């Protein structure tokens, strides 16, 4: 008996999940189950299914799990796309198992779960019987299987079951019908909106929102005009939004009178997306709303609109915005022209509010032009740590050759501070002239600048640069030479050629 689970699993192509560390006796059972699962495709699945069902009765938990997994694999293999009539066969065999009195309740539960994945019309009658039966656990699983089976037969039995069910059962059935979204069930769900039980009506509202379609929308809107219960009104409002209503009268009503601020915001978003001159009033109303998030949504949605009038309204309104609103505006500049975006960001930077200044710097990195070069360099040079970090990042991103030129000029500057700043910024921006200027500084007399230039060199150094540095080092003295040699020894093994490495070793 030298055959391990691992070996058998490999032979029968059983997924790793199935390879458990279990005792030898259990291995036998597992192997038997697995073997049946694997060879089942050669014929009908019934006998294999019954063997698996038997294993569900085992007191051993690992065997029970193996049976569960075996059933899952058997159904998966039967329903694979390349298996001829596999779905029909496995449906028939699962139904046989469900009818079989010797099959345990636990096994039936898992068979029902499998029918939720592969069930077809042929399973509907049997599933209906189980759903209407006295075993609550099996009934619930049968309903879930019917919920996922395509076709009018499943819808029909779910509708018929509704009249026989209690309140809890009716709620479950409404959810199932809502998920299916078949037109045939919309009337029934609609009637449930009008019923005496508010809980059922709320479920019905949600189900109609999920089901979608014009009829569902009409029912929701009609009830919205009739209902007084706060909970149901909210459910109707949410479902009208979920269903994607584009009725501007309704949307404006939701925006003005929605039962909570989230509904009002959602309605405003939808209105602004629709556009149209009459919606401009809603935008202005949103921009002036007492709720900050409403104002923020109005700013965002207005900026993102295809309509220039909307974007203009937001930009015009920016003059009266406080720093928080300007923050929202500055973070949403992607939607407007670069020139306006840059102007707004510069104005935001000038506000003096540090949080807003950071956002403005970030925006300038994206939307800035040559006009922003000085501002960014100044922010880097004079700002606090947070501003410096953001300014450096934006200096790296700015799409302007003037920034390259400015950094090159700084590297040539008489001011040591400017040179030092430029050297630091080379870690963020890869400018074309950087290496020659850096190596020029390395060859200079100012030891502090030599040190800074050497610190900036590694990220951009190539073999040629190291050759150049080697020549400078050979003519240098003191601390500068020591630093150059140290850097060469560090970089040569990764960037340099063999011959360069040899020369560096000889230094």
Partner 1 sequence: MKNLTRRSAIKKSLKAAVAVSAPMFLSSSVLGRGGKTGPNSRITIGLIGHGKIMKGHRQYHLGRDSVEVVALCDVDQRKLDLALAEVKAKTGKTCPTYEYYEELCARSDIDAVVVGTPDHWHAQISIEAMKNGKDVYVEKPMTLTIEEGKVMRETLHRYGSVLQVGSQQRSNASFRKAAELVLNGYIGKVRTVSARLGEFPAPSQYPAQPIPAGFNYDRWLGPAPWEPYNIERVKGDYGGGWRSFWDYGSRKNGDWGAHHYDIIQWALGRDESGPVEFVPKGYEGTEKQYYVYDDGVKVTRGYSREGAMIHFVGDDGEVMVSRGDKFETKSPSLKNVVLKTSDIRLYESSDHRADWLNAIRTRKQPICNVNIGHRSATICQLSGISERLGRPIYWDPVSEQIVGDASAAKWMSRPRRAPYGLLG
Kindly identify the residues of this chain, within the stretch 232-251, that bind partner 1 according to CB under 8 A: 233, 238, 241-242, 247-250
Stretch that binds partner 1, among 93-101, 307-315, 389-397, 480-488 (CB under 8 A): 389-397
Residues 190 and 442: their CA atoms lie apart, in Å, by 81
Of 189-208, which residues contact partner 1 (CB under 8 A)? Answer: 203, 206-207
Stretch that binds partner 1, among 153-161, 323-331, 343-351, 370-378 (CB under 8 A): 323-331
Residues 375 and 378: their CA atoms lie apart, in Å, by 5
User: Is 184 an interacting residue with respect to partner 1 (CB under 8 A)?
Assistant: no
Instruction: Decide: residue 498, CB within 10 A, 0-12 exposed, 13-18 middle, 19+ buried.
Output: exposed
10 Å Cβ neighbour count for 72? 18
Residues 495 and 104: their CA atoms lie apart, in Å, by 70
Residues 191 and 194: their CA atoms lie apart, in Å, by 5
User: Is 296 an interacting residue with respect to partner 1 (CB under 8 A)?
Assistant: yes
Of 28-57, which residues contact partner 1 (CB under 8 A)? Answer: none
CB nearer to partner 1: pick between 132 and 460 = 460
Q: Which of 95, 98, 157, 252 binds partner 1 (CB under 8 A)?
A: 252
Of 116-155, which residues contact partner 1 (CB under 8 A)? Answer: 116-118, 137, 140-141, 143-145, 147-148
Of 409-448, which residues contact partner 1 (CB under 8 A)? Answer: 426-430
CB nearer to partner 1: pick between 150 and 337 = 150
User: Is 451 an interacting residue with respect to partner 1 (CB under 8 A)?
Assistant: no
Task: Provide the minimum distance between the beta carbon of 475 and partner 1 in the complex, in angstroms, as a whole number.
Answer: 26
Q: Which of 152, 323, 351, 413 binds partner 1 (CB under 8 A)?
A: 323
CA distances from 420 to 364, 417, 454 (A): 23, 5, 12
Neighbouring C-alpha atoms within 13 Å toward the C-beta of 155: 17
Helices assigned H by DSSP within 132-258:
136-148, 152-164, 167-180, 186-194, 198-211, 214-224, 230-242, 248-257
**Number of helices followed by number of strands (H, E) in the chain:** 31, 0
Stretch that binds partner 1, among 28-36, 335-343, 377-385, 396-404 (CB under 8 A): 396-404
User: Is 466 an interacting residue with respect to partner 1 (CB under 8 A)?
Assistant: no
CB nearer to partner 1: pick between 476 and 491 = 491
- Residue count of the chain, please give it: 507
Residues 498 and 266: their CA atoms lie apart, in Å, by 66
Of 87-116, which residues contact partner 1 (CB under 8 A)? Answer: 87, 113, 116
User: Is 312 an interacting residue with respect to partner 1 (CB under 8 A)?
Assistant: no
CB nearer to partner 1: pick between 84 and 101 = 84
CB nearer to partner 1: pick between 52 and 73 = 73
Rounded to the nearest 5 percent, the helix, strand and coil shares of the chain are: 75, 0, 25
H helix or E strand, kind and range, residue 385: helix 385-397
Q: Which of 293, 350, 384, 446 binds partner 1 (CB under 8 A)?
A: 293
Residue count, binding to partner 1 (CB under 8 A) = 118
User: Is 404 an interacting residue with respect to partner 1 (CB under 8 A)?
Assistant: yes
CB nearer to partner 1: pick between 210 and 311 = 210
Residue entry with tokens 């070996």: 7
CB nearer to partner 1: pick between 125 and 226 = 226
Residues 34 and 28: their CA atoms lie apart, in Å, by 10
Of 326-355, which residues contact partner 1 (CB under 8 A)? Answer: 327-328, 330-332, 355
Which letter, b or e, does each residue of 121-152 get, where b requires 16 or more Cβ atoms within 10 Å of its Cβ?
Answer: eebbebbbebbbeeeeebbbbbbbbbbebeee
User: Is 304 an interacting residue with respect to partner 1 (CB under 8 A)?
Assistant: no
Residue 291 contacts by C-beta under 8 Å, 6 or more apart in sequence? Answer: 261, 264, 265
Among residues 215, 218, 146, the alpha carbon closest in space to that of 176 is found at 146
User: Is 398 an interacting residue with respect to partner 1 (CB under 8 A)?
Assistant: yes
Task: Provide the minimum distance between the beta carbon of 477 and partner 1 in the complex, in angstroms, as a whole number.
Answer: 28
CA distances from 139 to 105, 165, 199, 321 (A): 12, 12, 22, 59
CB nearer to partner 1: pick between 120 and 156 = 120
Q: Which of 121, 222, 402, 455 binds partner 1 (CB under 8 A)?
A: 222
CA distances from 384 to 354, 387, 431 (A): 9, 5, 25
User: Is 311 an interacting residue with respect to partner 1 (CB under 8 A)?
Assistant: no
CB nearer to partner 1: pick between 63 and 126 = 63
């Amino acid at each position: 008996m030298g055959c391990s689970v691992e070996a058998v699993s490999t032979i029968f192509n059983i997924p790793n999940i199935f390879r458990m560390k279990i005792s030898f006796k259990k291995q036998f059972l597992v192997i038997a189950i697995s073997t049946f699962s694997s060879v089942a495709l050669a014929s009908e699945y019934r006998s294999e299914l019954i063997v698996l069902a038997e294993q569900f009765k085992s007191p051993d938990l690992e065997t029970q799990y193996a049976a569960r997994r075996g059933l899952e694999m058997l159904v998966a293999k039967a329903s694979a796309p390349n298996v001829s009539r596999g779905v029909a066969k496995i449906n028939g065999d699962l139904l046989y198992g469900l009818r079989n009195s010797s099959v345990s309740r636990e096994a039936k539960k898992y068979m029902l779960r499998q029918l939720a994945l592969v069930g077809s019309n042929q399973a509907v009658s049997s599933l209906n019987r189980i759903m209407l039966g006295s075993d609550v656990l099996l009934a619930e699983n049968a309903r879930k299987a019917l919920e996922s089976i395509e076709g009018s037969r499943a819808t029909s039995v779910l509708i018929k079951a509704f009249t026989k069910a209690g309140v809890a059962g009716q709620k479950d059935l409404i959810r199932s019908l809502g998920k299916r979204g078949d037109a045939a069930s919309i009337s029934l769900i609609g009637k449930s909106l009008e019923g005496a039980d508010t809980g059922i009506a709320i479920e019905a509202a949600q189900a109609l929102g999920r089901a979608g379609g014009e009829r569902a929308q009409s029912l929701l809107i009609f009830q919205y005009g009739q209902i007084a219960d706060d909970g149901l009104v909210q459910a109707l409002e949410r479902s009208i939004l979920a269903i994607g209503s584009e009725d501007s009268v309704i949307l404006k009503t939701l925006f003005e009178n929605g039962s909570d601020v989230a509904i009002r915001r959602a309605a405003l978003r939808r209105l602004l997306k629709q556009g149209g001159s009459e919606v401009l009033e809603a935008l202005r109303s949103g921009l002036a709303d007492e709720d900050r998030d409403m104002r923020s949504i109005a700013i965002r949605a207005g900026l993102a609109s295809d309509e220039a009038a909307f974007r203009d309204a937001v930009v015009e309104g920016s003059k009266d915005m406080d720093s928080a609103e300007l923050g929202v505006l500055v973070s949403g500049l992607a939607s407007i022209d670069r020139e306006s975006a840059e102007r707004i960001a510069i104005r935001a930077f000038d506000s003096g509010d540090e949080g807003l200044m950071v956002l403005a710097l970030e925006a300038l990195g994206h939307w800035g032009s040559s006009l922003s070069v000085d501002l960014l360099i100044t922010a880097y040079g004079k700002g606090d740590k947070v501003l410096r970090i953001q300014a450096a990042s934006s200096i790296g991103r700015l799409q302007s050759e003037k920034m390259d030129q400015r950094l090159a000029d700084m590297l040539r500057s008489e001011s040591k501070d400017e040179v030092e700043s430029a050297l630091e910024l080379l870690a963020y921006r890869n400018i074309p002239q950087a290496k020659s200027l850096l190596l020029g500084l390395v060859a200079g007399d100012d030891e502090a600048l030599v040190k800074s230039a050497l610190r900036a060199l590694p990220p951009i150094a190539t073999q040629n640069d190291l050759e150049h540095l080697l020549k400078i080092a050979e003519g240098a003295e003191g601390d500068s030479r020591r630093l150059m040699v140290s850097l060469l020894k560090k970089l040569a093994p990764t960037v340099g050629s063999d011959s360069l490495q040899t020369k560096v070793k000889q230094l």
